[in-house]
């Protein structure tokens, strides 16, 4: 018993280190842009889903409006860069600040709602924000914003045209940051409070947990990380518009990624991303234009299956397989 | 249009009232209904208004199938699973339609009813008018069914108190399935009506679904008659929003209305909770 | 000065008056029992005292400070803890994690909270189930968990809502002993109970409610002789 107790965490740690080394070495091995792009997207979606996991998985508030923060991050850094020449890194910080402020403003009234009302309210907020941005001509409206292209490649300008490798490592760093933050929270008093709020708000309140404040904190952290993802996206694609960074479909996609992988777990969101992104890109390559629907089709089916059979997602499936294996 | 929203919302409200599940695939059900009506027209030259019973029936079957195949299993599960089960269904249906039929807009050309009617200073399209009237009629029929017929009352009883109802001999499983069937059939009717004059494409369900959620929330989840009032309200806000603000903002106006109501009165205007 | 003072509390739900002009005091370290038929307004009273409901009229005072309508978490920090009649375990968390949530009120260090939680679990007899998920517990064990969680916040006043409800007869004496031991440590307790034997045994004073009103507030020996209490609740055949 004791041997198994010390062996398991050691093994897990070894696997994680191996994965990390593999991730770091990836661009050296795969030098073509396409595989790198896939990994970048996996990292990005993984980070976004991990961020959502904080408010939804750990704190139990199913927010369906994450795109708001994503868009804020993207627009803030891009506009500051275009109009003021401010380095996107500072713009990222700015995006984070604005996203957090907006999250608190949204959260304060909306968190008073429960269950389905809350979920729909988050959708409503997302739609309103998108509509507002579309109509805000001063920042481009529906035409979007082009991030000015600067050559040569520069870290300060957060643009790399020669190779995707830099984007790769930045995306990886973002993912690791999101994971790190989640892990930190998970093990702290805050994490316990979040989970208590998720399980039973009233019981938590009776134990001294300031439920409203915890929800706002969770949302704030989630918003910050999501906004960072938004800035990254803007710098990666060099063009953003309301349709690409604010839509409901993006909010939903982020949720689906996390749900598939396992809501409320540390590694679930990445797992989900690791499944969805290749699926998405793979079908796009295979079927050209109509491919976009097929991956979602499969995805939708997967979500239904997961919801019905194993709401814990892939992570739950894996842990069941593991305990079944070790029971032998 | 408000009446149509009310009809769609009624189905949603019924399902929610029964088992506290918001059918996030409701919009996609509408889309399916519209496609059914479209293909009835395309393949057999039956006008949507005429094929309405067929569409309603088809959707009823879909509702039944969805209940037995999916919903039944997540009823006791965590809310997350319930939300995402129907969400997954929505994604599935929408992308399935996209995959099977492409993203082109389809319309029913030369429908049975066409043209516009002048009512005083306002001119209304005849199909829209017919849709409103029929929707209202369907709604009234639904209301009568729920309040007068034995099954309808049983449905209401199950919605109010599941345990008590089952203790009185009502088969709750059947009631749930029935709720889904009727709720879907409502959407079927609405879809057939809309097919008369609306564009049909895979994503068409989405805005209607969102409006339906707002309508249900406004009226109060579970309160079917209230959704009529709420539907009209939503329809009005949408129309005026489109006139006063830019058309793009009209949905925003509806959502703002939702937020306003729900924050001030969390149960909606007449909600049960 | 009394620890808890309830004065003229009235709580309405639509047309139903759940609590009508309720007043009583609890001295530090006192054990007060609350009895009354179903629907007498006992749980509602707890809700009002602990901030889950706001009364239409009346005041709740703690240590002389008016805390009427304060949020539950603030009251918890002032030393008021409660259990719920309808048990509310954190189902997805383990037993010790459940208790840690309570312990975290007094410390922000995870290890310290875990240690404190373990101590509390030992005192309620759940130490061996520390790593079990809360949803896997029996009703009796859940009751103990509910109690442990509340205790972890080191309250001065503990409100117990139906400690022996839904629990098999064999477990009752153990729970009573637990409550007695807690009282012995100087904790003030207000206990709602249906089991008359239990409440007569442990209470220093009993408050009887009927239809939302206080009909008697006296020592156990006097309560059983009170005409109104007998009519409302006990029936003629009760004898102590």
Which member of A115, A135, A256 has the closest CB to residue B249?
Answer: A135
3 state SS for A5-24 = HHHHHHHHHHHHHHHHHHHH
Handedness of CA C210, C214, C220, C221 (dihedral sign): negative
Task: Note the pLDDT of residue C168.
Answer: 76
Distance from CA of C16 to the nearest CA of A (A): 23
Rounded to the nearest integer, the mean pLDDT of chain C is 85
Question: Tokens 């039956």 identify what position?
Answer: B46
Report yes or no: A135 and B248 within 8 Å, Cβ to Cβ: yes
What is the DSSP pairing of strand B122-125 with strand B116-119?
A: antiparallel
Alpha-carbon distance of B262 to B4, in angstroms, equals 22
Q: How many CB atoms lie within 10 A of CB A257?
A: 29
DSSP state of B110: S
pLDDT (tens place) for every residue of chain A, 328 residues total: 444 556 677 777 788 888 888 878 777 777 777 788 888 889 999 999 999 999 888 888 888 888 999 989 988 888 888 888 778 888 889 899 999 999 998 888 888 877 777 887 888 888 888 888 887 877 777 777 787 777 767 777 777 776 777 888 888 889 999 999 999 998 899 999 999 988 888 888 888 889 889 999 999 999 999 999 999 998 888 888 888 888 877 888 888 888 888 888 888 888 888 888 887 777 777 665 554 567 677 777 877 777 777 767 777 777 777 776 655 4
Task: Note the pLDDT of residue A2.
Answer: 46
Which member of A127, A297, A299 has the closest CB to residue B210?
Answer: A127
Q: What are C158's strand-pairing partners?
A: C81, C189
Residue partners of B262: CB distance under 8 A and separation at least 6 = A113, A117, A121, B217, B218, B268
* List of chain A residues whose C-beta atoms are within 8 Å of the C-beta of residue C152: 207
Task: Note the pLDDT of residue A227.
Answer: 93
The three-state secondary structure class of C162 is coil
Beta-sheet strands, E only, within B46-125: 116-119, 122-125
Residue partners of B232: CB distance under 8 A and separation at least 6 = B2, B3, B6
Report yes or no: C126 and C144 within 8 Å, Cβ to Cβ: yes
Q: Do C99 and C143 belong to one domain?
A: yes
Contact C76 A189 (CB under 8 A): no
Q: Do C125 and C54 belong to one domain?
A: no
B89 near A CB under 8 A = yes
- Residue-wise pLDDT for C152-180, tens only, equals 999 999 999 888 777 777 778 888 888 88
Report yes or no: A263 and A57 within 8 Å, Cβ to Cβ: yes
Task: Note the pLDDT of residue B46.
Answer: 67
C-alpha distances out from residue C223 to B213, C41, C199, C220, Å: 55, 19, 11, 5
Task: Note the pLDDT of residue B273.
Answer: 40
Q: What is the mean pLDDT of residues C210-226?
A: 84
Q: Where are the domains of chain B?
A: 2-103+121-201
Alpha-carbon distance of C52 to A249, in angstroms, equals 38
Q: What share of chain C is helix, strand, coil (3-state, %, to 5)?
A: 40, 25, 35
What is the DSSP pairing of strand C80-82 with strand C31-35?
A: unpaired
Please enumerate residues of C whose Cβ is less than 8 A from a Cβ of A: 50-52, 71-73, 76-77, 81-82, 84, 88-93, 97, 100-102, 104-105, 108, 110, 113, 149-150, 152-153
Task: Note the pLDDT of residue B66.
Answer: 80
Q: Cα-flanking dihedrals φ and ψ of residue A63, to 5°?
A: -90, 130
188-207 of A, contacting C, C-beta below 8 A: 188-189, 192-193, 195-196, 198-200, 202-207
Chain centroid, CA A94 distance in Å: 19
| Residue A285 lies inside a defined structural domain of this protein | no
Which member of A198, A199, A209 has the closest CB to residue C73?
Answer: A209
Q: Range of A101's domain?
A: 32-245
Report yes or no: C76 and A207 within 8 Å, Cβ to Cβ: yes
Chain centroid, CA C144 distance in Å: 13
Question: Tokens 């600067």 identify what position?
Answer: A150
Alpha-carbon distance of C64 to A87, in angstroms, equals 58
Which member of B87, B99, B256 has the closest CB to residue A294?
Answer: B99
DSSP state of C127: G
* List of chain C residues whose C-beta atoms are within 8 Å of the C-beta of residue A311: none
* List of chain C residues whose C-beta atoms are within 8 Å of the C-beta of residue A202: 52, 72, 84, 88
Distance from CA of A118 to the nearest CA of B (A): 9
Give the ipTM: 0.85
Task: Note the pLDDT of residue A134.
Answer: 80
B213 near A CB under 8 A = yes
Handedness of CA B250, B256, B260, B261 (dihedral sign): positive
Q: Do C99 and C197 belong to one domain?
A: no
Structure tokens at A64: 């369906």
C-alpha distances out from residue A106 to A99, A190, A220, A223, C178, Å: 10, 21, 10, 11, 46
Q: What is the mean pLDDT of residues C68-82?
A: 89
Task: Note the pLDDT of residue B272.
Answer: 45
Q: Which residue, among B87, B97, B101, would best test binding to A if mutated, counting the most A CBs under 10 Å from its CB? A: B87
Q: Range of C121's domain?
A: 86-154
- Residue-wise pLDDT for B120-164, tens only, equals 555 566 666 677 777 777 777 777 777 777 777 777 776 666 667
| Residue A60 lies inside a defined structural domain of this protein | yes
The DSSP secondary structure of A123-169, one letter per residue, reads: HHHHHHHHHHHHT-GGGTGGG-EEPPP-SS-BTTTTB--S-THHHHH
Q: Which residue, among A60, A190, A192, A208, would best test binding to C if mutated, counting the most C CBs under 10 Å from its CB? A: A208
108-147 of B, contacting A, C-beta below 8 A: none
The total domain count for chain A is: 1
Report yes or no: B37 and B48 within 8 Å, Cβ to Cβ: yes
Residue at which a domain ends, from C154, C189, C209 = C154
What is the DSSP pairing of strand C4-13 with strand C31-35?
A: unpaired
| Residue A255 lies inside a defined structural domain of this protein | no
Distance from CA of A112 to the nearest CA of B (A): 8
Alpha-carbon distance of B5 to C139, in angstroms, equals 47
In this complex, which chains have at least 3 CB pairs below 8 Å with chain B? A
Burial of residue A30 (CB within 10 Å: 0-12, 13-18, 19+) is middle
A210 near C CB under 8 A = yes
Report yes or no: B94 and B202 within 8 Å, Cβ to Cβ: yes
The three-state secondary structure class of C23 is strand
Report yes or no: A303 and A255 within 8 Å, Cβ to Cβ: no
Residue at which a domain ends, from C135, C154, C173 = C154
Contact A128 B252 (CB under 8 A): yes
Q: What is the mean pLDDT of residues C222-226?
A: 82
Please report which residue ranges of A54-87 form alpha helices under DSSP H. Answer: 67-84
C31 CB-side CA count, 13 A = 21
CATH of the domain at C30: 3.40.50.300
Q: What are B106's strand-pairing partners?
A: B200
Chain centroid, CA B231 distance in Å: 11
| Residue A272 lies inside a defined structural domain of this protein | no
Please report which residue ranges of chain A form alpha helices under DSSP H. Answer: 2-29, 33-53, 67-84, 88-110, 115-134, 165-186, 189-199, 201-206, 211-237, 242-245, 248-261, 268-287, 291-309, 313-326
A31 CB-side CA count, 13 A = 2
B82 near A CB under 8 A = yes
Convert B21-50 to b/e letters by CB count within 10 Å (16 or more is b).
bbbbbbbbbbbbbbbbbbbbbeeeebbbbe
Contact C92 A188 (CB under 8 A): no
Residue at which a domain ends, from C114, C132, C154 = C154
pLDDT (tens place) for every residue of chain B, 273 residues total: 666 677 777 767 767 666 667 777 787 888 888 888 777 777 777 666 677 777 788 888 888 888 887 777 777 667 777 777 787 788 788 878 777 777 677 776 655 555 555 555 555 666 666 777 777 777 777 777 777 777 777 777 766 666 677 777 777 777 777 777 887 887 887 777 777 777 777 777 777 777 777 777 776 666 666 767 777 777 777 776 666 666 666 677 777 777 777 777 655 554 444
- Residue-wise pLDDT for A201-210, tens only, equals 888 888 888 9
| Residue A1 lies inside a defined structural domain of this protein | no
The total domain count for chain C is: 2
Structure tokens at A132: 């507002």
Alpha-carbon distance of A252 to A260, in angstroms, equals 12
| Residue A321 lies inside a defined structural domain of this protein | no
Q: What is the mean pLDDT of residues C36-53?
A: 85
Q: Do C166 and C240 belong to one domain?
A: yes
In degrees to the nearest 10, what's the CA dihedral of B58, B59, B62, B63? -140
Contact B262 A117 (CB under 8 A): yes
The predicted model scores a pTM of 0.82
C-alpha distances out from residue C126 to A259, C99, C141, Å: 34, 11, 7
Which member of A187, A199, A208 has the closest CB to residue C93?
Answer: A199
- For chain B, what is the total number of helices (H) and then of strands (E)? 12, 2
Alpha-carbon distance of A3 to B260, in angstroms, equals 59
Residue partners of A104: CB distance under 8 A and separation at least 6 = A216, A219, A220
Chain centroid, CA A175 distance in Å: 9
Distance from CA of B82 to the nearest CA of A (A): 7
């Amino acid at each position: 018993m004791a041997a198994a107790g010390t062996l398991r965490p050691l093994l897990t740690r070894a696997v994680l280190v191996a994965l990390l080394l593999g991730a770091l070495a990836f661009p050296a091995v795969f030098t073509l842009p396409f595989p790198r792009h896939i990994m970048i997207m996996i990292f990005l979606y993984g980070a976004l889903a991990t961020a959502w996991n904080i408010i939804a998985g750990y704190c139990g508030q199913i927010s369906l409006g994450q795109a708001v923060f994503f868009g804020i991050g993207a627009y803030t850094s891009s506009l500051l860069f275009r109009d003021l020449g401010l380095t996107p890194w500072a713009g990222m910080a700015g995006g984070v600040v604005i996203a957090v402020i907006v999250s608190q403003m949204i959260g304060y009234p909306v968190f008073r709602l429960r269950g389905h009302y809350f979920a729909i309210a988050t959708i409503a907020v997302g739609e309103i924000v998108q509509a507002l941005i579309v109509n805000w001509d001063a920042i481009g409206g529906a035409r979007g914003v082009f991030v000015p292209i600067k050559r040569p490649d520069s870290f300060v300008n957060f643009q790399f045209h020669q190779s995707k490798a830099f984007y790769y490592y930045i995306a990886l760093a973002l993912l690791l940051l999101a994971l790190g933050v989640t892990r930190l929270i998970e093990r702290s008093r805050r994490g316990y409070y979040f989970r208590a709020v998720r399980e039973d708000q009233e019981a938590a309140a009776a134990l001294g947990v300031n439920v409203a404040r915890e929800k706002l904190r969770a949302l704030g952290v989630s918003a910050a990380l999501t906004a960072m993802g938004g800035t990254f996206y803007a710098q990666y694609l060099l063009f953003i518009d309301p349709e690409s960074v604010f839509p409901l479909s993006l909010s939903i996609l982020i949720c689906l990624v996390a749900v598939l992988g396992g809501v409320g777990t540390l590694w679930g969101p990445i797992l989900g991303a690791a499944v969805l992104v290749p699926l998405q890109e793979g079908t796009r390559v295979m079927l050209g234009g109509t491919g976009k629907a097929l991956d979602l089709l499969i995805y939708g089916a997967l979500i239904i299956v997961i919801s019905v059979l194993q709401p814990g997602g892939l992570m739950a499936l894996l842990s069941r397989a593991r305990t079944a294996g070790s029971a032998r | 249009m408000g009446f149509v929203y009310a009809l769609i919302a009624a189905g949603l409200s019924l399902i929610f009232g029964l088992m506290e599940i918001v059918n996030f695939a409701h919009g996609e059900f509408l889309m399916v209904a519209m496609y059914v009506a479209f293909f009835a027209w395309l393949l057999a030259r039956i006008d949507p208004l005429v094929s309405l019973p067929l569409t309603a029936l088809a959707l009823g079957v879909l509702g039944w199938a969805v209940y037995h195949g999916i919903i039944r299993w997540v009823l006791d599960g965590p809310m997350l699973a319930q939300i995402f089960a129907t969400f997954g269904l929505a994604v599935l249906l929408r992308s399935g339609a996209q995959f099977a039929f492409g993203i082109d807009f389809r319309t029913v050309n030369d429908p049975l009813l066409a043209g516009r009617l002048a009512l005083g200073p306002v001119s209304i399209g005849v199909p829209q008018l017919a849709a409103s009237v029929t929707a209202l009629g369907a709604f009234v029929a639904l209301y009568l069914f729920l309040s007068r017929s034995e099954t309808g009352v049983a449905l209401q009883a199950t919605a109010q108190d599941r345990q008590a109802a089952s203790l009185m001999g009502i088969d709750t499983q059947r009631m749930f399935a029935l709720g889904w069937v009727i709720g879907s059939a409502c959407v079927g009717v609405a879809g057939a009506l809309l097919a008369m004059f609306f564009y049909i494409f895979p994503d068409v369900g989405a805005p209607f679904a969102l409006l339906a959620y707002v309508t249900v929330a406004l009226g109060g989840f579970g309160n079917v008659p209230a959704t009529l009032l709420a539907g009209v309200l939503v329809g009005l806000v949408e129309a005026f929003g489109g006139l006063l603000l830019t058309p793009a903002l009209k949905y925003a106006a509806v959502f703002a209305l939702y937020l306003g109501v729900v924050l001030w009165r969390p149960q909606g205007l007449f909600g049960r909770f | 000065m009394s620890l808890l003072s309830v004065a003229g509390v009235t709580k309405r739900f639509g047309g139903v008056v759940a609590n009508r002009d309720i007043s009583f005091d609890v001295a530090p370290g006192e054990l007060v029992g609350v009895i009354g038929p179903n629907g007498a307004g006992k749980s509602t009273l707890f809700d009002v005292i602990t901030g889950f409901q706001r009364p239409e009229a009346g005041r709740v005072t703690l240590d002389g400070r008016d805390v009427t309508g304060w949020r539950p978490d603030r009251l918890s920090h002032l030393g008021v803890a409660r259990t719920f009649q309808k048990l509310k375990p954190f189902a997805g968390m383990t037993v010790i994690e459940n208790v840690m949530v309570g312990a975290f009120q007094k410390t922000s260090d995870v290890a310290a909270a875990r240690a404190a939680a373990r101590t509390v679990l030992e005192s309620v007899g759940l130490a061996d189930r520390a790593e079990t998920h809360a949803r896997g517990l029996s009703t009796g064990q859940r009751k103990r968990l509910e109690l442990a969680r509340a205790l972890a916040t080191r309250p001065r006043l503990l409100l117990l809502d139906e400690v022996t409800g839904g629990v098999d007869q064999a477990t009752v004496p153990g729970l009573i002993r637990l409550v007695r031991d807690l009282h012995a440590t100087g904790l003030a307790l207000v206990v709602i109970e249906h089991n008359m034997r239990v409440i007569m045994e442990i209470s220093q004073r009993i408050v009887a409610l009927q239809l939302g009103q206080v009909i008697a507030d006296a020592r156990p020996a006097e309560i059983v002789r009170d005409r109104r209490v007998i009519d409302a609740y006990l029936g003629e055949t009760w004898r102590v």
